[in-house]
Structure 1
Amino acid sequence: MSDYIDQTHLQIYNSNVWAYGNSKWLGYPILKYPCDLFLYQEILHEVQPDIIIECGTFNGGSAMFLCSILELIGKGKVLSIDIDPQPNLPTHERLSYLKASSTSMQALKAAREMITLEDTVLVILDSDHRKHHVLTELNLYYPLVTKGSYLIVEDTNINGHPVSPDFGPGPMEAVEDFLQSNTNFIIDEEKHKFLITFNPKGYLKRIK
């Protein structure tokens, strides 16, 4: 069964539907697997975040998706950070952008300044996928995540998990290292319920 799931995962990932610009949210390209978007809306409804920090903007499609769900639940704002965002990004009253490296003190300072002590905070890491960069992001941003909320690491499927086997150490390896020394988070196994996710073991829930 797992071999079948992996082969289906590979076919979807390498298909034309996954090609840039072929999938859109409200007209903006979005490079997300639909089942992961469904998981995102479940998480947002459950957690009711006041602040979402998104590392990795690209074309802004996922930021727009997040704002759409926040609009439906009637609360929350998004700060989307990217060192080289694309032009013509979507606009929304709940959305702000920062052009900076996600691992810079400028970005971390901007994120902290958005947050009050009463806020529920969720963080999404979807920028540079090399292990060192993702692990640095994990260590920088995890203190911002509130208990019961999530630190989501995108594209843990690369480097042979099961796609892009030649990528080299990436998000999955960063998560594994992070969890060895951080007991504040667990992998939310419920987020594997659709059998295929582009973020396997990447939905980290803060438990303490």
Structure 2
Amino acid sequence: MTRSGDVSPTTIHQAKLDAMRRVRSHGGVPTFFDALVLAVPEHAEDEASRNLRRRLLTTLRSAGRGDEDPLARLARTPGTDLPGYTRSCSQGTGTPTVWQGRTLFKSVFDLGLYQQLLQRVRPATVIEIGSGSGGSALWFRSMGTAIGSPCRVVSVDLTPPPDADDDGVTFLRGDTAALADTLPPDVRGTWERPWLVVEDAHIHVPAVLGFFDPLLRPGDCLVVEDSLAKQETLRDFLTAGTHAAYMADSALLDLYGVNATSAVNSVWHVTDRVGRPDLGAGADGVAPAYRPAATVLPAAGRRSAVRPTGPAAR
């Protein structure tokens, strides 16, 4: 950036060279975004050109970070590139998207993001908290099969959809405030790894995060949807101290623009275990929700992707 806050012509020139390389790797076909990068004026001094250059640079740098500390990302990117009206239309206008005869309350941006995430994680088990009419659970199963990695899907809701169970898809009745009652060790013990956990119920979110955190393993993935209004909850969860070490997938979160997804800052990969070896669970396998940071500090010498903070961590 220059002293005036503009992006230097050298930086834009380099961004154009990178875009040209991407176009060549795609057989000469540019994406809409690469076409925009190649067309942006390097020296124009009008305010619209300056704003465009700044926005392009922000997007390129954010997406280029790959996996990063989720706390750092929460501080760096508190919002979304999606205009409010575009977001409002993204699940459908007259009717929502339908999959196998059931409504699918996922935005078009999230459907694209999940297709890429499934190919990266290749989950053996998808655990969905919040079932709706069942369309998203059936869609996860279909997408896993389509990429050659069939997954088991378990969807939990206080009022699960009737007659929606399918081959590889199970709907369970359960309260998000008491998931241990619905998913005891003898049930979840049969689930193969890796896991993809999707919080899409929007109620008792701290309890949901606290339940799954001690159960997750390296290679698993946690997604919190509709999280623009949950940023403080996510920050509290991370700073209280976690049993798993998480990294935010910035490449996916910014695939269609910075946080152009309902899962704002909240697509997390588990990279390590940083908590107690007993996973923080009692004899019945139930994990408490948040614990004070002092009880979940990583063992001496271990590297954590999420650093406990607060007075107990000093």
TM over 0.5: yes
Post-superposition CA distance 1:152-182 (Å, at most 9, x none) = 001012x3xxxxxxxxxxx322211112122
**Aligned residue in 2 for 1:146:** 217
Q: Does 1:70 align with 2:144?
A: yes
Q: What is the identity, as a one-letter code, of the residue corresponding to 1:134?
A: V
Change in Cα spacing, 1:144 to 1:21, as seen in structure 2 (3 Å) is: farther
- Number of the residue aligned with 2:171: 97
Identity of aligned residues (%): 25
- SS across alignment from 2:177: coil
Closer, same or farther: CA 143–21 of 1 in aligned 2, 3 Å: farther
Q: Which runs of 5+ in 1 are unaligned?
A: 160-170
Between 146-155 and 22-31, report the one with greater CA deviation.
22-31
TM-score norm. by structure 1 comes to 0.79
SS of the equivalent of 1:24 reads strand
Q: Is the CA contact 1:81–1:99 (under 8 Å) kept in the aligned structure 2?
A: yes
Q: Secondary structure at the match of 2:156?
A: strand
Structure 2: gaps spanning 5 or more residues: 1-54, 59-78, 273-314
Cα deviations across residues 100-129 of structure 1 (Å, max 9, x unaligned)? 11332222317x6233486221211011x2
Structure 2 residue aligned with 1:204: 268
Distance 1:57 1:194 in 2: 26
* Deviation, structure 1 residue 27: 2.6
Name the structure 1 match of 2:181: 106
Does 2:138 correspond to 1:79? Answer: no
CA–CA distance in structure 2, aligned partners of residues 145 and 60 of structure 1: 24
Q: TM-score, normalised by structure 2?
A: 0.54
Q: Of 249, 267, 285, which aligns to 1:188?
A: 249
Q: Greater CA deviation, 10-19 or 80-89?
A: 10-19
* In structure 2, C-alpha distance between the alignment counterparts of 1:14 and 1:134, rounded to whole Å: 23
Contact 2:176 2:207 in 1 (8 A): no
Question: Which 4+ residue blocks in structure 1 deviate beyond 6 angstroms?
Answer: none
Distance 1:16 1:49 in 2: 26
